[in-house]
Chain A
Amino acid sequence: MAKIKLTLNGELRTIDVEPNDILLDVLRDKLGMKSPKCGCERGDCGACSVLLNGKSVRSCLVFAIEVDGQEVVTLEGLSENGLTTLQKTFLEFNSFQCGFCAPGVIISATELINKNPNPSTEEIKEAISGNLCRCTGYQPIIDAMKHCTSNK
């Protein structure tokens, strides 16, 4: 066991982890953040995406011990001051169906908009192409993101 410190959704947390503990499992089982989901355990589906120092990573491919001293944001942490414009638009557009991929998609979309407030459709597709969704056909997600960007 090793003690690590991380800033999780704006709060400094300390936690004991085994060297081979996966970040996704630690976030869900030891830190109470249930929004990152487990869909494949091998980085294919993107449902476990979180922001690590502002960049999206698949938390199933990161050892918890690697995030010592760093900043992690999950979907729970995005709406601390109310829903973001992106979240509001996803809601208004009925962008998600079963919602299981939503935490990961919203993390990827947020990363893109933070970096590039006016992305092209291709850039939007590229940004969420690592997040698999079986329900929506992606179009209502892309439409919402386009709507957000053109509003700016």
Chain B
Amino acid sequence: MEEYKYIGQPIVRIDGLEKISGAAIYADDIDFGTNLLYAEVVESTEAHALIKSIDTSEAEKVLDVVKIFTGKDFPFKFGLYMKDRYIFAQDRVRFIGEQIAAVVARNPKAAKRAAKLVKIEYEKLPVLVNQMDSFKDPEILIHPELDEYTHVPWFFPKTKTNVAHWRKTRKGDTQKGFAEAYYILEDTYTVPRYAHCAIETHVAIAKYDLSGRLTVWASSQSPHTQKNLFAEALAPLGLTHKDVRVIAPHVGGGFGGKAGVTMEIIAAAISTKLKGFPVKMRWSREQEFYNTYQRLGVIAELKIGVTKEGKITALDHKLYWDAGAYVEYGANVVNAVGLSAIGPYRVPNISIDSICIYTNLPPCGAYRGFGYSEFLFGLESHMDRIAEKLNIDPIEIRKINAIREGDKTAYGADMNPNGLFEAIDKVVKEIEWDKKIVSENEDKVIAKGFALFWKAPAMPPNASSSAFLKFNEDGSINILVSAMDIGQGFLTVMAQIAAEILSVPVSKIRVENPDTDRNPYEWQTVASHITWSCGNAVKNAAINAREQILQIVARTLRLPKEDLYLDDEKVKCKTKQDFGLPLREFVVAGIQAEDGTFKGGPINSSGIFMPEFSSTNGDPETSQGGHPNVHYTVGAGALTLEIDKKTGKMKVLKVVEAIDCGKVINSSLAKGQVVGGLVQGLATVLYEDMRFDKNGKLLNPNFTDYKIPTALDIPEEIVPIFIEVEQPDGPFGARGMGEHTMLPAAPMVANAIYNALGIRLKSMPLTAEKVAMAILNNSK
């Protein structure tokens, strides 16, 4: 293995000092002067209704109100993968909380007061809050104009239904596979919606200046995609891409919730009619819950057949997704699962139907895990249940079926190199799988649970990254990229990659969050693909800079280029031991030749990366033939769970997770991802419980009633394990890991509960209340 100086090291975050000193600037922290206006949205109080009239007369009378906008002002659609949303509701509303109008005022209090005075008259329509009702009922159409929506070519909406997309994957012959099975287990698992709960709510400030230039400052995971979607949606107003600029300062957590475009489009649009005035929108915590994206809910019908020895013969997975009122982003979650809902297993005969269904609940979209947490709950519960039935150890049944490099994925492409078996073995060892623990307290029972996971980035086949790199006079470096540090440590990792190639210490490299005018294109900071994709772009830029450096030294000083190399901020020569030219002496100034002239000049470079092998050209009926996913990251997790039999209260005594993220670039930040991701994953199982009433109103949009963990709720011990089977096309062999860390949480807990109590819970969340009720019902 190659020795690295910076790659793999537990380097301190390059944005750390800003963040612990209070220097870090987030979108809401930027000052815009006395002309700043504030916008407050008027929201629908109905889940499904026609808008009969909007009366703004009382609101207009409020002192300091500047202007009120409604759907009439902006009859434009927007959306990432499918344009099914309007900037403001037009003739109808489809969920409670949907934006109908915006009141702009000189101060936030006036805007809030006036927004309450806008009167909306509705004609109610029947409300669909359950995806199965919505799926079965073609009488009530949430989007009657579904046929007219533009969408990416790999979506298949079903006309005159509430189905926005239906991803089918077929391989082999499931009928034959089930006929061959010794045992078939068929059951249904339910996973509800969840909220991201980034501590920073969405903030956007837009300014359309007197020259017709639109700048948007946003808390964002997707500055370039936002720029593109703003320019597309507002094109009827004469805006072109060069007129639109997105500046993304530090972002206070994303988890998928700040991907794509949500409320930012409102600020962007209304600013175009407030020429010269910056206008600010900041979502309240409530709005953050119901009008960004939520994680999709799913009802999953799973049928698996196995031989007597435990080998899977066939899998049939039908997933009915509650995607909400708009699915412009969420439909791609459904798509991703439709391609991958076999889990990390060899399955010869496959049928997957992943169905994206409109409901009159808040829109759903990207959430860390992108659908994989949801289907793994059922799949990994199923594996344990089958193992028990066959009297095989749950670890063994997974090893019998686990996918290996070169095996075929569900859509027929080759599985990438991976260390799944090593992950299983290391987790089993660390959790001491065979060692039973008996609680000293007779009211408590302790058991272990195990689960595997996998996930691929879900992205268009041409999602790309780019990087600019420039040297300063002292040999320090600025790197310009457009992915976002949403906390994962992206900026630091990019600095490490450039540091390794150029032999310049990380402390001399500055990488900051982007301004789309200055920084080159990046698709989005999603899909756990940034270390891999943008890392490749930065690596290419650094290699390009190195090439320029070596060339100018070779040319000017007449040294053989093949003997030159970079070390310790100097150009050195293999054949000339005493030669060492410091970078700072020439990377801007150039090199002086004997005749007094200067050669070379500032070293500036660029690099790009696009996965040119990726394609979504699979057959719509089978998904065979394309290469929609670039690679999978796999891993295993296990935990030791203590359950209080009287109260159902659970405590995670120890949790272990092994993840094969290829080469670890920063061991400290990678551990941070595992610990943070596991706690977030466990929260969706043990605490978080979103409640809607029958009319589709969210009942707990706040942190008092929707519980996310505090420092008192974390596991007693968390052990991250890294398997480093290198990704051939990754920078230094790295592949993604940010989302994966939360994936095994739900099935590990479900399996541990079963192992402790003999109770199989099939509907998330698995809260103390639910466990206590199950114990009670079981004892009757």
B252 touches A37 (CB 8 A): yes
| A101: min CB distance to chain B, Å | 5
What are the residues of chain B within 8 A of A135 when measuring CB–CB? Answer: 253, 487, 672, 676
Contact: A100 with B714, CB < 8 Å? no
- Return the contact of A99 from the options B487, B675, B676 (Cβ within 8 A): B487
Give CA–CA (A75, B678) in the complex, Å. Answer: 29
List of B residues within 8 angstroms of A41 by Cβ:
284-285
Interface membership of B250, Cβ < 8 A: yes
Please tell me if the beta carbons of B285 and A40 are within 8 angstroms of each other in the complex: yes
Binds B, one of A51-59, A63-71, A124-132: A124-132
**Residue numbers in A under 8 Å from B254 (CB-CB):** 98
Pair A45/B711 contact, Cβ less than 8 Å = no
Q: Is residue A11 contacting chain B, with contact meaning CB distance below 8 A?
A: no
Q: Closest residue to B706 on the A side, CB-wise? A: A44
Complex interface: chain B residues within 8 A of A90 (CB): 16, 20
Q: Known interface pairs A99-B19, A138-B714. Does A132 touch B708 (Cβ–Cβ under 8 Å)?
A: yes
Interface size class of A (residues with CB under 8 A): 35 or more
Whether the pair B21, A139 counts as a contact (CB closer than 8 A) is: no
* B20/A102 in contact, CB under 8 A: yes
Known contacts being A129-B710, A134-B197, A137-B676, is A91 close to B20, with CB within 8 Å?
Answer: yes
A85 vs B199: C-alpha distance in the bound complex, in angstroms?
Answer: 26
The residues of A that contact B678 with a CB separation of less than 8 Å are 137
Contact check, A134 vs B708: say whether CB atoms are below 8 A apart: yes
Q: Give which listed residue, B200, B668, B675, contacts A39 with CB less than 8 A.
A: B200
Query: Is A133 an interface residue when CB atoms closer than 8 A count as contact?
Result: yes
Q: How far is the CA of A80 from the CA of B302 in the complex (A)?
A: 60
Q: Is B777 an interface residue (CB 8 A)?
A: no
A140 lies within 8 A of B284 (CB):
no
CB distance from A45 to the nearest CB of B (A): 6
How many chain B residues touch A (CB < 8 A): the figure is 54
* B639 part of interface (Cβ distance < 8 Å): no
User: In the complex, what distance in Å separates the CA atom of A35 from the CA atom of B24?
Assistant: 8
- A124 vs B712: C-alpha distance in the bound complex, in angstroms? 9
Taking a contact as CB atoms under 8 Å apart, the answer to whether A102 and B19 are in contact is yes
Q: Mark A21-58, 1 if CB is under 8 A from B, else 0.
A: 00000001000001101111110110100000000000
CB distance from A144 to the nearest CB of B (A): 10
Residue ranges of A at the interface with B (Cβ–Cβ < 8 Å): 28, 34-35, 37-42, 44-45, 47, 74-76, 79, 83, 87, 90-103, 106, 124-126, 128-142
Q: Ordered nearest first, which 5 A-B pairs have the shortest CB separation? A: A100-B252, A97-B487, A99-B19, A137-B679, A98-B487
Residues of B within 8 A of A (CB): 10, 12-13, 15-22, 24-26, 28-29, 196-201, 250-255, 282, 284-285, 486-489, 668-669, 672, 675-680, 702-704, 708-712, 714, 718
Add 16 more A-B contacts to A94-B668, A96-B20, A102-B19 (CB < 8 A): A40-B285, A42-B702, A44-B704, A45-B199, A45-B285, A96-B16, A96-B487, A100-B199, A100-B250, A106-B20, A134-B196, A134-B198, A135-B487, A136-B676, A139-B675, A141-B711
